[in-house]
Amino acid sequence: MSSDQRFFDFLKERIGLDVASVGEAIIERAVRQRSQSMNAQTADQYWQQLLVSTDEQQALIEAVIVPETWFFRYPESFATLGRLAVARLAEIKHMRALRILSLPCSTGEEPYSIAMALLDVGLAPHQFKVQGMDVSPLSVERARRGVYGKNSFRGQDIEFRDRHFTEQTDGYRIADRVREQVRLQVGNLLDPTLLANEPTYDFVFCRNLLIYFDQPTQKQVFEVLKGLTHVDGVLFIGPAEGSLLGRLGMRSIGVPQSFAFSRHAEPAPEPVFVPMPAPIPQRSAAPIPTKPRPFSTISAQPVAPIKPPPAQSDAADLLSQIATLANEGKSLEARAACERYLQTHPPAAQVFYWLGLLSDVAGSALEAQGYYRKALYLEPQHPQALMHLAALLESQGDVAGARRLQARAARSERKQ
């Protein structure tokens, strides 16, 4: 019953969700769960309940949206923000507070990370304010509560937890000095009146959202984001969304792994790939560096030399090592680990997928396509390889080929 097009259209209208970005099976599962909760026996019965209940409409949206975030995700973004913020304050001669926007803010890890990063570089509380916004009231309420479990603290560098949190029985509570820098509210980026009377923001974080939209909605949302960003401001996006901003007239500021774009620059000349249709699972590479480009305000941090991971006798341990390196943003080390794996173990689809993703984001489209196809040769229904290769084909004009791969990925998801 849940494959009814009405439910797909409802989510598209309310939150801009493109069914192809997550797969029909995800939405079907959410609708089944909500139907059972409402004791609906048929699709029509649940549809009528959905139409008359704003609470149920939000419940269905909440069932589809699964937040996946943690503190200081993509750490170089926050280091870059700190340097840019200091430079921006000097530029405006400290005449006003910096304005930073985080949307979607999910359960608060990102806006609180912004506040901690700025406090740690020496900004005083009166020198900046952070606005966090999300379409999910449940997520916003959790952010306001400010208590987090261990899953919100990932990677090896979690010293900030000792500085900014207090441990208690139900988790770690964020310090009031951080909480007071962040204002949280519910809001929909597709709302034409969103922040209409607010001044523009010096820095805008909107990461891993555009990947859920079709191309017309992506362009619509981009225009909103551009309008919210100060003409001299910087927009931080997800690692797979850079190509879209490049095509729409923005350009990377040139700091590896920051995923930061200036609003008014010329588009980048090198070839890039379109946003990935589905979020990267935890086992796969997360932060991937873009190609460095010059930036007049700050200097790019040098990329750390490749340090191969310690010898691993078991293939599963080495795969876990690759995932850890990738999720901590150590993309060069992750690539080296992939190559080491292929030298010491039989070929694995996931390793070729990681190599494809690394090449994809670096702008090496032909190399990425080859790696994705190797992954699919070894594992024909590898879902991430299917969707990323589909995105690559679509960017090259092969829409029919892209749709076939997306259909394969959707069928694979239904079988799970």
CB 71 within 8 A of CB 152: yes
How large is the average pLDDT for residues 267-278? Answer: 42
Is residue 369 over pLDDT 60?
yes
Mean of the per-residue pLDDT values of the chain:
80
Tally helices (H) and strands (E) across the chain: 18, 10
User: Residue 305, preceding bond cis, omega within 30 degrees?
Assistant: no
| Eight-class DSSP state of 126 | G
In the chain, the percentage of residues whose pLDDT exceeds 90 is 30
Is residue 207 over pLDDT 50?
yes
Query: Any alpha helices (H) in 146-281, and if so which ranges?
Result: 160-164, 176-179, 215-228, 242-247
User: What phi and psi values does residue 148 have, to the nearest 5 degrees?
Assistant: -130, 145
Domains, the chain, in order of start with CATH, read 5-64 (no CATH), 75-262 (3.40.50.150), 315-415 (1.25.40.10)
Three-class secondary structure of residue 203 per DSSP:
strand
CB 350 within 8 A of CB 325: no
Q: How confident is the model at residue 280 (pLDDT cuts 50, 70, 90)?
A: very low
User: How far apart are the C-alpha atoms of 239 and 258, rounded to whole Å?
Assistant: 9
Paired residues of 264 in beta bridges: none
pTM as predicted: 0.63
- pLDDT, one tens digit per residue, over 66-96 is 667 899 988 899 999 999 999 999 999 999 9
Three-class secondary structure of residue 94 per DSSP:
coil
